[in-house]
């Protein structure tokens, strides 16, 4: 295998290559570090690159040289972590330069699991400050560096799309894994709330935050989930649920699958190119034997207000001491405004929002009593130009913040598992994402459907990568 192709290997391909001794862990790790050093000045996906990556790779190679001493399919695989995951050997900033904040030099639960699996923790990716926002400055979208990558896990998505690592972790409070995955043409998976431990992740909203992987393929996400999922008593929200073999689930076909389409909210205000790509994906599933059922969910008209109240209030509570101490004056302007708005959410507002959340959970349960998954666009549009605050969708103008999480937030509010998988491109060759959501703790069905879409569409996204952007 030629070393130059290693940046586009999937996690599975890299793992297989290591197992078959086609190359050592040191080779792809060095190659990815060299590629990052050469090109990330244009993308700015990393805030910190590990000084210990090669040492970790050598340790993996030493294990592999001893018979039956490997730690599993992730042993020797390079992984990037969003800069709100605590790490013992790399600094954590949560994307802020404000005074008054220090973060412990210890491993988050996810970092611990990855190290135990033999991963090479290659670096920390940039996040929109405190995991707020959907633009992740100063990160650029690798498909067009004049456009935003999405957020708040924009650094992780851009890292994958740029060929800097085969696996990165993000966090998702209103869409922060799936939004950048859609905009950057990667897979982004938010499992059920409580499936992966949040211990050691800088909190944003304790009842909405979801850790999860960003990868090149659905199979890669399933492999990552086999390591990341599981009970952890250090996270009070983490559930003691049996963890299936996610990789086994994706081998099954989509024949006899029952798919739900919620016509209002998800399907009634998208750009024509997004809607066409999603419709084509649904038709491909129908042609493969899936059954499609249509629904309406009027209560979603109140959902955005509900998640806004909950997120603002919980983030405001987390930042209360910093605001009182005057440290929020150092926050980015957009984040400071949102944090201070959280102090205006009353107890009545918060409780009404929680009531809407409960009702939405009941409505989605009614739908999932009849279907296996629900499908929609991930985003109503493709990535916008940096600096834009308004996007035009159809005949309406929307703020970029409201538009970008309009289709993703319902699955944070309800805690349901949801994935974004590439499903096409617009006329400017910007990626379009398809969102698939499922029942609580039924990540297997979500991954199974996403893998079916991946096989049916067979997108060739890697050759279309904006190489000119990476040669700046």
Query: Is residue 467 exposed (0-12), middle (13-18) or buried (19+ Cβ within 10 Å)?
Result: exposed
- Of 176, 328, 376, 445, the active-site residue reads 176
Radius of gyration, CA atoms only, the chain: 21
- Of 15, 24, 50, 82, the active-site residue reads 82
Contact by Cβ (8 Å): 373, 257: yes
3-state secondary structure of 201: strand
What is the Cα–Cα distance from 185 to 215, expressed in whole angstroms?
10
What is the Cα–Cα distance from 147 to 264, expressed in whole angstroms?
29
What is the Cα–Cα distance from 140 to 180, expressed in whole angstroms?
11
For the chain, the farthest-separated pair of C-alpha atoms sits apart, in whole angstroms, at 64
Contact by Cβ (8 Å): 440, 433: no
User: Is 176 among the residues known to form the active site?
Assistant: yes
User: Is 281 among the residues known to form the active site?
Assistant: no
Task: Count CB-CB contacts under 10 A for residue 21.
Answer: 10
- Of 10, 136, 140, 152, the active-site residue reads 152
What is the Cα–Cα distance from 106 to 434, expressed in whole angstroms?
36
3-state secondary structure of 81: strand
List, by residue number, the catalytic residues.
82, 152, 176
């Amino acid at each position: 295998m030629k070393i130059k192709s290693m940046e586009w290997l999937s996690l599975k391909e890299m793992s297989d290559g290591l197992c078959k001794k086609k190359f050592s862990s040191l080779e792809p790790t060095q190659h990815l570090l060299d590629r990052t050093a050469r090109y990330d000045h244009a993308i700015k996906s990393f805030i910190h690159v590990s000084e210990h990556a090669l040492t970790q790779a050598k340790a993996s190679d030493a294990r592999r040289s001893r018979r039956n001493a490997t730690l599993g399919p992730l042993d020797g695989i390079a992984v990037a972590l969003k800069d709100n995951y605590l790490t013992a050997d790399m600094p954590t900033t949560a994307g802020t330069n404000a005074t008054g904040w220090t973060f412990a030099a210890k491993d988050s639960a996810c970092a611990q699991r990855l190290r135990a699996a033999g991963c090479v923790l290659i670096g920390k990716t940039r996040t929109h400050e405190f995991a707020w926002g959907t633009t992740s400055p100063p990160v650029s979208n690798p498909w067009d560096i004049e456009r935003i990558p999405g957020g708040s896990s924009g650094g992780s998505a851009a890292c994958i799309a740029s060929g800097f690592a085969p696996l990165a972790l993000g966090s998702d409070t209103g869409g922060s894994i799936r939004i950048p995955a859609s905009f950057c043409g990667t897979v982004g998976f938010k499992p059920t709330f409580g499936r992966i431990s949040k211990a050691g992740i800088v909190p944003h909203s304790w009842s909405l935050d979801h850790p999860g992987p960003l990868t090149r393929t659905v199979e890669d996400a399933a492999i990552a989930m086999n390591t990341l999922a599981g009970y952890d008593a250090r996270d009070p929200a983490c559930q003691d649920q049996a963890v299936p073999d996610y990789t086994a689930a994706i081998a099954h076909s989509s024949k006899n699958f029952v798919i739900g389409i919620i016509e209002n909210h998800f399907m009634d205000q998208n750009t024509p190119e997004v809607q066409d790509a999603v419709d084509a994906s649904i038709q491909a599933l129908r042609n493969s034997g899936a059954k499609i059922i249509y629904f309406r969910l009027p209560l979603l008209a109140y959902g955005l207000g509900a998640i806004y109240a909950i997120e603002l209030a919980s983030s405001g509570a987390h930042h209360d001491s910093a605001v009182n101490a005057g440290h929020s004056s150092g926050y980015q302007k957009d984040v400071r405004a949102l944090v201070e708005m959280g102090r205006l959410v009353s107890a009545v507002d918060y409780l009404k929002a929680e009531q809407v959340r409960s009702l939405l959970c009941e409505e989605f349960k009614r739908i999932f009593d009849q279907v296996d998954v629900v499908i929609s666009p991930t985003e109503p549009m493709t990535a916008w130009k940096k600096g834009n605050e308004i996007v035009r969708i159809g005949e309406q103008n929307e703020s970029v913040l409201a538009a970008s999480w309009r289709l993703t937030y319902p699955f944070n509010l309800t805690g349901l598992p949801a994935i974004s998988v590439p499903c096409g491109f617009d006329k400017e060759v910007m990626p379009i994402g398809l969102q698939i959501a499922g029942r609580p703790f039924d990540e297997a069905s979500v991954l199974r459907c996403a893998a079916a879409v991946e096989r049916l569409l067979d997108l060739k996204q890697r050759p279309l990568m904006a190489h000119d952007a990476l040669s700046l």
